[in-house]
Structures are given as C-alpha cells and as structure tokens.
Chains A and B, each alone.
Chain A
Amino acid sequence: MLRYIGKRLLMLIPVLLGISLVVIILIDITPGDPARMMLGTQATEEQVEQLREDLGLNDPIYVRYGRFLWNTINGDFGTSLMTKRPVADEMLLRLPYTLLLVSLSLVMSVIIGIPIGIYAATHQHTWRDSGVMFLSMICVSVPSFVFALLLIRLFGVKLQWLPLSGVESWRGWILPCVAMGLGLTALIARQMRSDLLEIIRQDYITTARAKGLSEGKVIYRHSLKNAAIPVIMVIGGVFGSSLGGSLIAEQIYSIPGMGDYIMKGLSNRDYPVIQSGILVISSMFALVILLVDVIFALVDPRIRSQYVSKKRGRMSKIAKETEEIQAV
C-alpha cells in the first residue's frame, strides 16, 4: 500500500509541473504590465523598465519558469508585488481558513447528504423520494452565493442570530458553511441514491435476499458498502468544487482565506500570488483525490489486491468529472 501511495505521489509531480507551466504561460500572454500597475500611472517609462528588469520580467519565459520552479522547490514562493510580504507566509496564514471552510462544509454535506440519499433510495416510487429528489435538484440548481445572500438576509439581517460576515467567533462559520454545503449536500444525496439503486439491482443483492436476510441487512450490509465506493469518489470531486466555491464564499463572508488571496492577486496582476496560490490549491485537490483513491483501495478488495488497475483510474476520473459538473 505504501508503495502504491508513493507511486501516486510521484505521478503528481508532472501534473503540478504542467499546472505551473500553464499558469506561467497564461500570465505571460496577459495584457497589462505588473510593473506599471505597481508603480502607477505617474511613474516614468524608465522607472517601469528598471522595475521590470529587477523583477526579472524581461527574461524569456523558460528562464522565468525555471526560476519559479527552483524557488518553489526551495520553499520560496516569492514576494507579493502589492503587499511586499512573502507569499509563503501569507499563504500559511490563509490556508487554514480555506481548509476549515471547505472541510466543514464537506463534513456537513456528507453527514446530511448520505442519509438523505439512503432514505430516498429505500422509498423509491413514493412521493417521499420524488419530493426529496426534487428539493435536492433545486439545491443543486441555486448558486451558492444566492444561498449565502439569503442566509445573510434571514439569519443575519432579519433574525440577527448570526454575524453577517467575518469569522472571529465560531458562530461566524455557520452561515458560510451552510451556504456552501447546501448544494454539496444535495449532490451527495443524489449520488448516494442513484448508486444505491444501481447496487440494489445487482444479482448479488438477489442472492442476499434469497439467503433469507432481512431487508435491513440486505441494504446495510450488502448494498451500502458497495454503493459507498462511487460515493467516496464523488466526495473527492466535491472537495474540488468546494475549493472553487470558496473563492466566492470568502468574498461574501470576508473570510481571509486562499480564495480571497487569489482573487486579490488576480485583480492586481500580482503574479507571484497567482502562481503560488493556484499551485497550492491544485496540490490540495490532488492530495485529496489521492486520499480518496487510497480509501477506495482499502474498501474494495478488487483494487486492494492489484493496487494499480484500470478500474482505479476510471474511478478517479469519475470523481473528477463530478467535480466538473458540480456547480459553484
């Protein structure tokens, strides 16, 4: 198992190299001059040129890429052009906020979504199932920022139970997590339901029934464990989409996290921030996908015995596809 994990970690390297290359190319083709933006319109052409030279912006792209990689490997994520603070320090302060926000909403959506999915699947063809599924479809279709605004309006403005924004106290976390978690909960519930229904149709479930097992045992012992496998995959994807969603949630609730940092970087063309921010977020995502694959291998003996199989690759792709279709 350790060898498997090691191998997967090695496979991450080219992916992360690719991402940083893409980011650096994108920044390169971007119109607008970071040096000019730093110095403002008052600065002379010479000053701007001098700064460009100092920042190494005039070097060819492969030199800058090489330098970026070398610095990153050495733990130097550069210095923010705007705040002049080291990006690494800033990210260390901000990353916990984002991770907490994302994991809290993820935990919430798993804890609530899975039982809802099971409930719907075991009540298939009744109004309960249709009702729950229609509701969850609505939750999937509403942008999370709309939930955020509605929650602020209801609990913050009208009832005044919870703070409108800011996360100085634990109460501040409730609204952002719920706003982000609602859509994810619905997504997980829908996935759980459809997987469970798929499994219930399998022959081995008929076998289990033919053994004289009670319906409860058939569902919980034989169906649920099998249905959990694709759901775990989806949770990995959902993690990715909540990383994306945190971009907005952090803005609305003024949470000083990574999303906020990247957004600021993007609007200021603060390229060290953009580069490192995207790289760090993508690494988080990749690590979670890896974690999911490991859990998957632990649950499914078919994979456990071969560690790296075609099936596994397929499943992690399912996870990524879900990430994609999942909205923000």
Chain B
Amino acid sequence: MQKKRKKSRLYEIWRQLRKNKLAVAALVVLVLLLLVAVFAPLLAPYPYDQLNAKLSFADASKEHLLGNDRLGRDILSRLIYGSRQSLSMGVVAVAIAATIGITIGAIAGFYGRWVDNLCMRLLDIYQAMPMFLLCVALAAILGPSLRNAIIALGVGTVPGYARIMRASILTVREKEYVEAARAIDASDANIILKHILPNAIGPLIVQITMGVGGCILAGSALSFIGLGVQPPLPEWGAMISDGRSYLREAPRLTIYPSICVMLSVLSCNLLGDGLRDALDPRLKN
C-alpha cells in the first residue's frame, strides 16, 4: 500500500515534469554529462596530460577538435576528463551536505525542544558566515586538493538541507498517521524513514538538484582561485584559471570550460525549477 502510493507519486511528478520541455532537455544534458564523466577514458581522444610542445596554443584541427592549450594538451580531452572532477565536486559535496543536513534536521524536528533549539542555534552560527567564505576558509585550511574542496563544499552547504528537513517534519509531525504509527510503537527511526521522509522528499529533491548546480559553480570557483583540483588533473574552473593569462591570444582556453560549467549548472537549475513546478503544479499559474 505504502509502496504503491509512493510509486504513483513519483510517477505523477514525472508526468508533470515531462510537460516542461526545458526541464526534460536539462535532464537529458545532465545524463549525457554524467555518461561523459563515467566513460571519459573511452571518449577522450587523448590522455588529459599528454604534452606536445609543438602544438602549444594550436588552433582547432582535425586531430584536435578544440585546439590545444599552452602545453599542447588536447583541450577536448581535458574537458572530457575535467567533467569527472567538476561533476564529482557537485554530486559528492551535495551527498555529504544532504546526508549531514537531513540527519541534523530530522533530529531537530523530530525531538523538538532543547535538541531542536541547540541544532538551530548551531545552524545560526553556521549561516552567519557567508557560505562561500566558509567554503574558501575550509578549503584553504584543509589544504588544496579535490578531496578537500569536496569536503569544504559539503560541510559548507549543510544548513539548507537541515532547515528543509526540519520544516517538513514540523508540518507532518502532528499528522494523524504519525500519531498512529507512534501509537503502535514504531521506532523513531522507523517513523522518520517511513512516514516523514517521503513527505519531505519533494522540497529536498529540488534543493538537492539546485545544490548540485551550486556546488559545481562554487567548486569551479575554488579551483579557479587554486583551492580545488591541483594540476595536472583537469577541472573546468582550473582550466578557466589557466586560460586567464591568455585571454587576448587564445580566449577559447577560457570560453570552452566556461561553457561546460554554465551548461551543467544551467541544467541543474532548470531541472530543479521544473521539479519545483512539477511538485507544486499550483505555482505554474
């Protein structure tokens, strides 16, 4: 019964989402980007670190469709490999943030009273720092690397998920079916997982989708200022940073990775927007 209801709800969301062509296109783009990241070694024509001094700043050619960078590395291959780093910054960071945030929010919302108060005050402190400043500080303190950038982004963006989760719980906590579940002595974890989470899932999905975009963006910014992925590993933000010195001679070094960042972030945002509308069709009119 429970399962069937959940299924039909997901189906209903999908049915609404399908009507939004932009969101569907965004979903397709995201899936393609993920596939590119997963199969990068198969798709990339060259290794990302293959140097070729003769091809320094070479223009696009049949062999190198998007040209080469200063060290003669193939830009297309670097973009393809870069998607692994860039996307994983978005996806893994959000996974960390969502897991911590949902747990904190669930505990705060479910147990209420002083637990709730404590959690909320902590989040207040958390959020009193501008988020990007916090991420930068964390990344700098942990030391620049892909792993640390992901941790910094993940830890830095926790509060949003916690607040959404807590708010959803507060709205459903007093509903009859939760009372009923409590009456038959279901465990707390059980109640949270079975009854409360499904109701909070809508806003969380939207936040997660948008959050992936936000983290890709912030991650590229971290790499841009040298606090993220370290060379020779390619990452879009780092590639933009590399190309920055050659804006005059070879603007494509900056432009191609910028397009990649924009495309992935835009897709996340459009999908998130579409999901929000699909979850609440009322908003459309």
* A–B proximity contact (CB within 8 A): yes
The answer on a CB contact under 8 Å between A243 and B221 is: no
Cα-based distance from A327 to B224 in the complex (angstroms): 14
Within 8 A of B (CB), among A302-328: 317, 320-321, 323-328
The answer on a CB contact under 8 Å between A243 and B261 is: no
Chain A positions 245 through 276: 1 when the CB is less than 8 Å from some CB of chain B, otherwise 0: 10110010000000000110011000000100
Chain B positions 260 through 271: 1 when the CB is less than 8 Å from some CB of chain A, otherwise 0: 011001100110
Judge whether B140 is part of the interface by a CB distance below 8 angstroms. Answer: yes
Question: What residues on B are CB-neighbors of A201 within 8 Å?
Answer: 282, 285
Cα-based distance from A256 to B240 in the complex (angstroms): 23
Judge whether B132 is part of the interface by a CB distance below 8 angstroms. Answer: yes
Within 8 A of A (CB), among B108-142: 121-122, 124-125, 127-133, 136-138, 140-142
Question: What residues on B are CB-neighbors of A197 within 8 Å?
Answer: 283
Closest-CB distance, A97 to chain B (whole angstroms)? 16
Cα-based distance from A327 to B265 in the complex (angstroms): 10
The answer on a CB contact under 8 Å between B140 and A281 is: no
Judge whether A18 is part of the interface by a CB distance below 8 angstroms. Answer: yes
Question: What residues on A are CB-neighbors of B247 within 8 Å?
Answer: 149, 152-153, 157
Cα-based distance from A30 to B148 in the complex (angstroms): 12
Cα-based distance from A15 to B120 in the complex (angstroms): 11
Judge whether A241 is part of the interface by a CB distance below 8 angstroms. Answer: yes
Given known A143-B217, A328-B221, contact A240–B130 (CB-CB < 8 A) = yes
Closest-CB distance, A69 to chain B (whole angstroms)? 15
Question: What residues on A are CB-neighbors of B204 within 8 Å?
Answer: none
**B side interface size, CB within 8 A:** 52
Chain B positions 234 through 260: 1 when the CB is less than 8 Å from some CB of chain A, otherwise 0: 000100100010011001001000100
Stretch at the interface among B9-17, B157-165, B176-184, B193-201: B157-165
Judge whether B211 is part of the interface by a CB distance below 8 angstroms. Answer: yes
Question: What residues on B are CB-neighbors of A324 within 8 Å?
Answer: 127, 131, 157, 159-160, 214
Stretch at the interface among A72-80, A134-142, A214-222: A134-142
Question: What residues on A are CB-neighbors of B258 within 8 Å?
Answer: 142-143, 146, 149-150
Question: What is the interface of chain B mostly: helix, strand, loop, or mixed?
Answer: helix
The answer on a CB contact under 8 Å between B220 and A143 is: yes
Q: Which residue of the partner chain B has the closest CB to A145?
A: B224
The answer on a CB contact under 8 Å between B128 and A137 is: no
Question: What residues on B are CB-neighbors of A245 within 8 Å?
Answer: 132
The answer on a CB contact under 8 Å between B141 and A26 is: yes
Given known A141-B262, A262-B133, contact A15–B124 (CB-CB < 8 A) = yes
Judge whether A99 is part of the interface by a CB distance below 8 angstroms. Answer: no
The answer on a CB contact under 8 Å between B128 and A15 is: yes
Given known A143-B261, A153-B251, contact A137–B125 (CB-CB < 8 A) = no
Chain B positions 132 through 174: 1 when the CB is less than 8 Å from some CB of chain A, otherwise 0: 1100111011110000000000000101100100000000000
Question: What residues on A are CB-neighbors of B218 within 8 Å?
Answer: 327-328
Question: What residues on B are CB-neighbors of A174 within 8 Å?
Answer: none
- The one of B124, B143, B211, B225 in contact with A31, judged by C-beta atoms closer than 8 angstroms, is B143
The answer on a CB contact under 8 Å between B131 and A149 is: no
Chain A positions 121 through 151: 1 when the CB is less than 8 Å from some CB of chain B, otherwise 0: 0000000000000100110111101100110
Cα-based distance from A18 to B122 in the complex (angstroms): 8
The answer on a CB contact under 8 Å between A22 and B125 is: yes
Question: What residues on A are CB-neighbors of B143 within 8 Å?
Answer: 31
The answer on a CB contact under 8 Å between A278 and B273 is: no
Judge whether B96 is part of the interface by a CB distance below 8 angstroms. Answer: no
The answer on a CB contact under 8 Å between A278 and B262 is: no
The answer on a CB contact under 8 Å between A281 and B130 is: yes
Judge whether A282 is part of the interface by a CB distance below 8 angstroms. Answer: yes
Interface centre among A138, A145, A153, A282, by most chain B C-beta atoms within 10 angstroms, is A145
The answer on a CB contact under 8 Å between B225 and A247 is: yes
Closest-CB distance, A208 to chain B (whole angstroms)? 18
The answer on a CB contact under 8 Å between A30 and B217 is: no
Judge whether A19 is part of the interface by a CB distance below 8 angstroms. Answer: yes
The answer on a CB contact under 8 Å between B217 and A328 is: yes
Question: What residues on B are CB-neighbors of A137 within 8 Å?
Answer: 266, 269-270, 273
The answer on a CB contact under 8 Å between B240 and A325 is: no
Interface centre among A137, A194, A286, A324, by most chain B C-beta atoms within 10 angstroms, is A324
Judge whether B213 is part of the interface by a CB distance below 8 angstroms. Answer: yes
The answer on a CB contact under 8 Å between B160 and A19 is: no
Q: Which residue of the partner chain B has the closest CB to A164?
A: B247
Question: What residues on A are CB-neighbors of B225 within 8 Å?
Answer: 247-248, 251, 263
- The one of A16, A149, A243, A263 in contact with B254, judged by C-beta atoms closer than 8 angstroms, is A149
The answer on a CB contact under 8 Å between B224 and A143 is: yes
Cα-based distance from A320 to B159 in the complex (angstroms): 9
Given known A30-B141, A146-B262, A323-B127, contact A140–B269 (CB-CB < 8 A) = yes
Given known A201-B285, A324-B160, contact A244–B131 (CB-CB < 8 A) = yes
Cα-based distance from A19 to B221 in the complex (angstroms): 23
Given known A26-B137, A146-B240, contact A18–B221 (CB-CB < 8 A) = no
Cα-based distance from A98 to B179 in the complex (angstroms): 52
The answer on a CB contact under 8 Å between B273 and A141 is: no
Within 8 A of B (CB), among A25-49: 26-27, 29-31
* A-B contact list, 5 entries, CB within 8 Å: A26-B138, A262-B133, A278-B129, A323-B127, A327-B265
Interchain residue pairs A-B with the least CB separation, the first 8? A244-B132, A18-B125, A266-B140, A141-B266, A141-B265, A327-B217, A244-B130, A146-B258
